[in-house]
Amino acid sequence: MTESFTPTWMLDAIYHLTPEQLKDQGIKAILTDLDNTLIAWNNPDGTAELHDWLDQMQAAGIPVMIVSNNTADRVDRVAKPLGLPFVSRAYKPGTKGLHEALKELNLKPEEAVMVGDQYLTDVFGANRAGIPSILVKPLIETDQWNTKINRFVEKGVRRRVMKKHPELTWRNSID
Ligand SMILES: [Mg+2]
C-alpha cells in the first residue's frame, strides 16, 4: 500500500530539473501538476524563475504539459500565456488524464515523468499509470480550502513513506 504513494524522486522544486538530468534518465517529457507545483495558487502568472525554466526546457526540446484536476478555465488562464499544452479535469489519482497526456505526446509511461506536490493525487496517479514521479515541496504553505483536507491525510501518508523509505530525501537534482 505504501508503495503506491512512494515517489521515484523528491525534489525541492520543479525549477531544479534540468534537460541533462532528464536525458540521463531517458525522460523525454514533463507532465506537471499546476497548483503549488508550477505556480503558487495565488500567483497565476508565475515567477521569472518559472519563465526561465520553461525557456530552458523549450530550447532542449522537452515538452512540458500540465495535467491538473482543476477546471479548463482555471488551467487555461495559466497555460495560455505560458504557451503550455494541458489536460484539465484529469481526476488524478485516476489515470485517464495521464494516459491522455501520454497519448498526445506519443510516449510510453516510462519516457515521461509526473511532477506534483501531493502524494494522494500526483504520486499515486503516476504510480498507477506506470509513470516515474517527482514529489516537490508545495510552493507556498497556505492553500485553497479543498486542498487543506487532503494535506491532513497527506501527513499520514508522508509518515509511512518516510518510515519505509528513509533513503528518500529532499534533493536538488534527480541524478
Ligand atoms: Mg498541487
Number of domains the chain is built from: 1
Task: Give tens-digit pLDDT for 27-57.
Answer: 999 999 999 999 997 888 889 999 999 999 9
Q: Report the predicted TM-score, pTM, of the whole model to 2 decimal places.
A: 0.94
Q: Is residue 145 pLDDT above 80, yes or no?
A: no
Looking at residue 79, what is its pLDDT?
96
Does residue 94 sit within a domain?
A: yes
Does residue 111 sit within a domain?
A: yes
Nine-digit cell string for 70: 482543476
Q: How far is the CA of 143 from the centre of ligand 1 (A)?
A: 9
CATH number of the domain that 145 lies in?
3.40.50.1000
Q: Which domain holds residue 65?
A: 2-164
Does residue 93 sit within a domain?
A: yes
CA distance 26 to 22: 6
Neighbours of ion ligand 1 (CB under 5 A): 33, 35-36, 117
Q: How far is the CA of 37 from the centre of ligand 1 (A)?
A: 6
**What's the pLDDT band for 150 if we cut at 50, 70, 90?**
confident
- Give percent of the chain with pLDDT exceeding 90: 85
Contact 78, 34 (CB under 8 A): yes
Does residue 174 sit within a domain?
A: no
